[in-house]
Amino acid sequence: MKINLEQLVAYAKNHGFVFQGSELYGGLANTWDYGPLGAALKNNIKQLWWQRFIQENPHNVGLDSSILMNPAVWKASGHIDSFNDPLSDCKQCRTRHRVDHLVTKHDPTIDADGMSLEALDDYVRTHRLKCPNCGGHDFTPTRQFNLMFKTSQGVIDEAAQAIYLRPETAQGIFLNFKNIQRAMRLKIPFGIGQIGKSFRNEITPGNFIFRTREFEQMELEFFCQPGEEIGWFETYKKDSYQFLLDLGLAADNLHMRDHAEEQLSHYSNATTDIDYRYPWGFDELWGIASRTDYDLRQHQTHSKESLEYFDPESSEKYLPYVIEPSLGVERLFLALLFEAYQEETLDNGETRIHLALHPALAPYKVAILPLMKKKHGEQAVALHARLAKYLPAVYDETGNIGKRYRRQDAIGTPFAVTVDHQSQEDGTYTLRDRNTMTQIRLDEAALLQYIKEQCVF
């Protein structure tokens, strides 16, 4: 059985994955805290992205740039002038809405992204669009709303300088293009990837962790020779899609959406989104864009520093073109939970929930369970301590063994090791598989080796 969004939110809370942010004080809308299992799953997602796109990729290197940057960065990147969404307030119930969303909800065939503010406003009025909250038709004029979070830097209020929380991690990469190329003596083509928090004052956050104001991105900027960008764009489309399949998302639930020419941003010559089938329909998971030399050129112009690359082979100087695959950690987290969640009725009539995550993603790789706490507890505690040096392992001695298996199934632990009377005699243990529920008997060295092999990604 598959789960709906409401059920998933409850499941994620009850099992220690995601809690409402500031819950003790009534919450802060659309903020979420990641519990022990959520934090582990998030870390595993990020680690596997890093492994695939940085560690295993011969062209790419990593970066961790700061969230706060000189405000001039956002002027150059275009975020101060045009990182806007069109918004309008319902005069009747005072709720705020993204006008482009109201338009596409009314007619999904319309490309609202490409419409001017006036055209959107006109559409709302001529089609008498309804407020999704109260059904009213009376909206304030449509206006642009900048999505960047503004704050100030400096201890004395009067001297404080306005700065912004970064709305994407990408600009930190462009700023370090020259530093990294020189320090690491890199030759084009090469990529720089980073994972980090981004902030957007979204008008209509929602759908649990799908659209929030604070989120994490895994972004790669891949620098190549002009003219070669479309070949690399196709490579990254393919590699990104394959990464999702390898993590366990079903091809049926993924859709590559190529942007038509009229939908492309002014700086892009090709863009594709990989959409996932969330419970509310296909929606954007991963954006892959060919961004030409727009960002480097903007920073070169505004900083008055040359960002050109000297190609030692052709003895030419040029601004590299950029391919950017940009993926939200939480959107992938949500897709993986939906995909992995399984509910089945067993022969004995019991319901079994099991989270069929790839072992590399599972928060715990192994659970150590004494068959009987009094008799086998001491040996199980010692085994857990030894295994925990190599793998995330959890020890559980409460309740009957069947219940403990169910608990581990429900949080995606791929293996359960039971310590029983035979373990005391010959040092072997039963190893139970989460998906098949079958058991094999192995000694400590063999079971550690087996689990490690199964967790390879």
* Position among 193, 328, 359, 370 found at the interface with ligand GAP (CB under 6 A): 328
Q: Nearest distance from residue 221's CB to ligand GAP, in Å?
A: 8
Q: Assess 219 for contact with ligand GAP (CB under 6 A).
A: yes
Q: Nearest distance from residue 419's CB to ligand GAP, in Å?
A: 43
* Position among 327, 367, 369, 451 found at the interface with ligand GAP (CB under 6 A): 327
Total number of residues that touch ligand GAP (CB under 6 A): 19
Of 16, 53, 22, 20, which Cα lies nearest the Cα of 288?
Answer: 53
Q: Assess 202 for contact with ligand GAP (CB under 6 A).
A: yes
Q: Assess 148 for contact with ligand GAP (CB under 6 A).
A: no
Site stretch for ligand GAP (CB under 6 A), options 48-56, 215-223, 435-443, 447-455: 215-223
Q: Nearest distance from residue 118's CB to ligand GAP, in Å?
A: 24
Q: Assess 331 for contact with ligand GAP (CB under 6 A).
A: yes
Q: Nearest distance from residue 209's CB to ligand GAP, in Å?
A: 7
Nearer to ligand GAP, 331 or 354 (CB): 331
Structure tokens at 235: 């490579």
Q: Assess 239 for contact with ligand GAP (CB under 6 A).
A: no
* Position among 168, 229, 275, 293 found at the interface with ligand GAP (CB under 6 A): 168
* Position among 97, 200, 277, 354 found at the interface with ligand GAP (CB under 6 A): 200
Read off the amino acid at residue 40: A
Nearer to ligand GAP, 328 or 359 (CB): 328
Task: State which of positions 396-455 bind ligand GAP (CB under 6 A).
Answer: none
Q: Identify whether the C-beta of residue 223 lies closer than 8 Å to the C-beta of residue 116.
A: no
Distances (CA, A) of 407 to 401, 404, 415: 10, 5, 12
Q: Give the residue at shortest CB distance from ligand GAP.
A: 328
Nearer to ligand GAP, 83 or 190 (CB): 83
Site stretch for ligand GAP (CB under 6 A), options 260-268, 325-333, 402-410, 436-444: 325-333
Q: Assess 100 for contact with ligand GAP (CB under 6 A).
A: no
SS3 string of the chain? CCCCHHHHHHHHHHCCCEEECCHHHCCCCCCEEECHHHHHHHHHHHHHHHHHHHHCCCCEEECCCCCECCCHHHHHHCHHHHCEEEEEEECCCCCEEEHHHHHHHHCCCCCHHHCCHHHHHHHHHHCCCCCCCCCCCCECCCEEEECCCEEEECCCHHHCEEEEECCCCHHHHHHCHHHHHHHCCCCCCEEEEEEEEEECCCCCCECCCCECCEEEEEEEEEEECCCCHHHHHHHHHHHHHHHHHHHCCCHHHEEEEECCHHHCCCCCCEEEEEEEEECCEEEEEEEEEECCCHHHHHHHHHHCCCCCEEECCCCEEECCEEEEEEEEHHHHHHHHHHHHEEEEECCCCCEEEEECCCCCCCCCCEEEEECCHHHHHHHHHHHHHHHCCCCCEEECCCCCHHHHHHHHHHCCCCEEEEECHHHHHHCEEEEEECCCCCEEEEEHHHHHHHHHHHCCC
Q: Assess 222 for contact with ligand GAP (CB under 6 A).
A: no
Q: Nearest distance from residue 290's CB to ligand GAP, in Å?
A: 12
Task: State which of positions 5-34 bind ligand GAP (CB under 6 A).
Answer: none
Q: Assess 272 for contact with ligand GAP (CB under 6 A).
A: no
Nearer to ligand GAP, 11 or 286 (CB): 286
* Position among 330, 396, 409, 420 found at the interface with ligand GAP (CB under 6 A): 330
Q: Assess 193 for contact with ligand GAP (CB under 6 A).
A: no
Q: Assess 284 for contact with ligand GAP (CB under 6 A).
A: yes
Q: Nearest distance from residue 30's CB to ligand GAP, in Å?
A: 9
Q: Assess 290 for contact with ligand GAP (CB under 6 A).
A: no
Nearer to ligand GAP, 123 or 241 (CB): 241
Kindly report the number of other CB atoms within 10 A of residue 338's CB atom: 19
Site stretch for ligand GAP (CB under 6 A), options 149-157, 212-220, 235-243, 376-384: 212-220
Q: Identify whether the C-beta of residue 206 lies closer than 8 Å to the C-beta of residue 187.
A: no
* Position among 42, 52, 98, 211 found at the interface with ligand GAP (CB under 6 A): 211
Nearer to ligand GAP, 49 or 309 (CB): 49
Angstrom distance (rounded) from CA 145 to CA 424: 67
Those residues whose C-beta lies under 8 Å from the C-beta of residue 3, and which sit 6 or more positions away, are 11, 279, 338, 341, 343
Which positions lie near ligand GAP, rule CB under 6 A? 168, 170, 200, 202, 211-212, 215, 217, 219, 284-287, 324, 326-328, 330-331
